[in-house]
Amino acid sequence: MLEQFFILSDRGDTIITKAFRGELNRKEYEVFFRKVKFWKGDAPPVFHSDGVNYYFTKKYGMFFVLTSKELCSPSFVFDALYRTMKVFRDYLGVLDEEGIRKNFILIYEIVDEMYDFGYPQIMSTEVVKEFVINEAVVVSKPPSSAKPSIWNKNTVSSSAVTRPVSSTLSTKKKTKRQEIFVDIFDKITVLFNSNGFVINSSIDGVIQMKSYLTGNPELRLALNDNLIIGGSGEMGKSAITDCSFYECVDPTNFENTKTLTITPPDGEFLVMNYRITGEFQTPFRVYTFIDEVNPFQLQMVLKVRATFPGDHYAKNTEIKFPVPKSTSSVSFEASPTQEASYNKSEQNAKWVVKTFQGAREYSLTAKISLGKAAESSTRKEIGPISMNFDIHMFNVSGVTVKYLKIAGSTSKSGPHRWVRYVTQSSSYVART
């Protein structure tokens, strides 16, 4: 089982060290840091040195490390590590070095409850809370820096998102806001062949909640009725190929009524993952036309058409494609609100459309000047074209929330419920 847990700053200072078994040997985190620092390239998340296996992740400018000497399942260790970080974040609101340093006694106390002799014990915030006495010292920080980019500022409605969970629950002020956030993310993977046909497409979706409700009332989340689980659905209906649920969820009635009963833990938690393979309406279609103007110049016309409804838009759409090795310069023609640039060191071109309105088509003409005459293979060096985008309040999977009932509250005056849909590109690639 697990041997040690430690948090190091990126300069190698120890912030937290905890030995579950055996004696804490100062050398081990030194060994770890030296190994990571002097690794050729990036150190792998699991490595072995002198009888010790190190599992680490680097987040928020710190190394979070678990070590083991025995046979462990790596997936198990990483899940435990991520879960530990989540509990810290729930307690501290924002996970950063200052917060951990200020609260190190609390962190030790939490770690003591979470692991016993290296065995993960209680890994959820609300249970740990029962056994932990210390209170978090909140470090004030501008919330904007703490959130990952997918949390668009415009849609974050409350400071609640970064506030520590425990203070909400332990202080008995009456002014606290009762609210719950539901996010439905569709992460889509699409691969087009050079003729614009879809070769492979899938959606990895996740329903995620963040709860600030007192007393953790039971929730009932109903999804749209026309959802089909398992098997391939007919057009017009959303068919989920496979889904998995988290512990707080009771999916007994899901197949029949599409309703999930949730016992919400505090703070952020995942409700379910779903996977959809098979046909669905791809939000963008990509067309490319490459012409050889003369042996030293290629002209590429890239057309991207948004097929989602016109009342939605994609933010910060980024379209990238590699250009031939022999490229000497690239000039672009695009509408003035868009930016296109050529990066010589990475040999690729990037086109950014700040706001991509639905049901519109944009095009980019790239004139690629070559340093030497084009060969037959030069054209093939252009592409594939990859896209990155977020579309808010729209999801391609068609998974929607029908209602969210909170036990013990009438629907009118009940807590605020925020539901958000986001479609994100995971890998959106068109071959040329």
Which residues within the stretch 87-126 sit at the binding site for other proteins (CB under 8 A)? 104-105, 108-109, 112, 116-117, 119-124
Is there binding between residue 279 and other proteins (CB under 8 A)?
no
Q: Which C-beta is closer to other proteins: that of 178 or that of 426?
A: 426
Residue 400 binding other proteins, by CB under 8 A: no
Gap between the Cα atoms of 157 and 261, Å rounded: 26
Interacting span for other proteins (CB under 8 A) from 78-86, 259-267, 327-335, 404-412: 78-86
Residue 428's φ and ψ, nearest 5 degrees, are -125, 100
Query: At closest approach, how far in Å is the CB of 73 from other proteins?
Result: 4
Contacts of 345 (CB under 8 A, 6+ apart): none
CB of 176 to other proteins, least distance (A): 25
Q: How far is the CB of 302 from other proteins (least distance, A)?
A: 16
Region near other proteins per CB under 8 A, out of 140-148, 246-254, 295-303, 390-398: 246-254
- E strands, 282-400, are 284-294, 297-306, 313-322, 327-333, 339-343, 348-357, 361-370, 385-392
Q: Is residue 80 involved in binding other proteins (CB under 8 A)? A: yes
Among 243, 370, 374, 399, contact with other proteins (rule: CB under 8 A): 243
- Examine residue 270 and tell whether it contacts other proteins (CB under 8 A): yes
Piece of 16-24, 148-156, 173-181, 209-217 that binds other proteins (CB under 8 A): 16-24
Give, as ranges, the residues between 124 and 143 that touch other proteins (CB under 8 A).
Answer: 124, 131, 133-134
Where do the DSSP E strands lie in 166-295? 179-192, 198-211, 219-223, 228-229, 239-240, 242-245, 249-250, 259-262, 267-277, 284-294
> Restricting to residues 142-201, which ones interact with other proteins according to CB under 8 A?
187, 189, 191, 193, 199-200
10, 97, 179, 204: which one binds other proteins (CB under 8 A): 204
Position 22 contacts other proteins (CB under 8 A)? yes
Q: Distance (Å, rounded) from C-alpha 271 to C-alpha 244?
A: 9
Cis upstream peptide for 384 (omega within 30°): yes
- Find the farthest-apart pair of alpha carbons in the chain and give their distance in angstroms, rounded: 75
Tokens 């046979």 identify what position? 71
Count of Cβ atoms closer than 10 Å to residue 142 Cβ? 8
Task: List all residues 6 or more positions away from 108 whose beta carbon is below 8 Å from its beta carbon.
Answer: 16, 18
DSSP-derived 3-state class of residue 33: helix
Residue 24 or 222 with smaller CB distance to other proteins: 24
For residues 290 to 319, the per-residue mask of contacts with other proteins, x marking binding by CB under 8 A and - elsewhere, is: ------------------------------
Tokens of residue 148, six digits: 């990952």
**Which one, of 249, 212, 271, lies nearest residue 399 by Cα?**
271
Of 167, 208, 216, 277, the one binding other proteins (CB under 8 A) is 277
Choice from 34, 37, 61, 74 touching other proteins (CB under 8 A): 74
Q: How far apart are CA 344 and CA 379, in angstroms?
A: 18
Q: Site size for other proteins, by CB under 8 A?
A: 81
Give the distance, in angstroms, between the CA of residue 360 and the centroid of all CA atoms in the same chain. 28
Q: Does 373 bind other proteins (CB under 8 A)?
A: no
Binding of other proteins by 26 (CB under 8 A): yes
Stretch that binds other proteins, among 64-72, 146-154, 213-221, 415-423 (CB under 8 A): 64-72
